[in-house]
Amino acid sequence: MKKFLACVLALCMLAGCLAGCSAEKPGPTTAGTPDPSTPAPGASAPAVSLPDNYDLIMTFGAETGSVYAMGIQIGEYINSLNPNITCTVKVGSSGSNITLLCSNQTVIAHSGSDIIHEALMGTGDFTQPMTGFYGVASVMQSVLHVVVPADCPVSTFRELVEQKYPIKLSVGTQGSGIETLMRKLLAYYGATYEDIASWGGKVEYLNIGDASTLFTDGQLNGVSVIAGMPYSSCAEIAASKNIKFLSLDEEAVESFSKEGYIAQTIPAGTYNGQTEDTLSIANLVTVCASGEADEEIVYQICKFLNSQEGIDILSNVNSGFAEYMTGPESGIAGIEVELHPGAARFYQEAGVLG
């Protein structure tokens, strides 16, 4: 009898051990059954394998600009996952950012699809093809706006050059994306900044704030900017003066579409008093990474930028983000440079990259 009881007790203990083991390692769940390893709605997300004590240096445009503010939001998101990562946002332009990425002086930076094309081809300000930088996400369209008074005698770039109109024009700060584009556009139509001066006009290298003030005061009759639509500074100008925008022709749009730009129209009514559509071009503001950027950090940045959470946050920074960003489909669109492995993994998991 004692031996029988001992056997029964041993069997009970064995059954308990087996039950404990199965609780620690649940088998596959059936379809429609919640996986106990998946956090319930509202629960904390599982920890991600971000590196500790990482120096995440990001270079994003002018300090007052929306892409710089995007860098701040990226840093806050990464710190919400790992507060030990040092996130630093610095000022930098589209062209210089590529050089910084290729020399691993910055980890994450923005550029434009046009500048990226030049860097890959070794054209423009790049004396040779650049390597060592990778794509992460497209986040916004920046549309060319060239504001002139509504009573300006020219309405297109072609008329401006053919009539040798003495425009007093701000082309943006030297080396900026808009200044580079203005030089290329004038060259397409056979003119230079020096030609404008010879016609009795002048070219000023001003930020959009200073240019807007001088335009409103009548000291300029042309302001150039590349930005999302509607752009606040253009809206402010339109609220105080009657304006229109210089238009491109279809041949120019087709030509520039081969250089990293896309065709775009500024629809009539986008700005106060704007009565006609304006044919223009746009580039895609693109977040890029250096070759030595940590894969998991890039993955998480890509995830944030393509998530509804990220889109909602960035839409409060600039409506242009929300107007362009729809998720992974828009995030991968138009990226000519090779994707960073962290970004490629995200888009593969999202089902938009084979």
Structural domains of the chain sorted by starting position, each given as residue range(s) with its CATH number in brackets: 55-139+285-350 (3.40.190.10), 142-283 (3.40.190.10)
Length of the chain in residues, anyone? Answer: 354
| Nearest-angstrom CA–CA distance, 253 and 282 | 10
Residue 127 CB partners (closer than 8 Å, separation 6+):
none
User: What does the block give as tokens for 226?
Assistant: 């590349």
Selection from 328, 320, 338 nearest residue 66 by Cα: 320
| Nearest-angstrom CA–CA distance, 266 and 277 | 6
111-148 confidence digits (pLDDT tens):
999 999 999 999 988 999 999 999 999 999 989 999 99
Q: Decide: helix, strand or coil at residue 177.
A: helix
Q: What's the mean pLDDT in 71-80?
A: 97
pTM value surpassing 0.85: no
Residue 86: how many CB atoms within 10 A of its CB?
Answer: 13
Lowest mean pLDDT among 24-33, 260-269, 328-337: 24-33
Pairing outcome for strands 168-170 and 278-290: unpaired
pLDDT at 95: 85
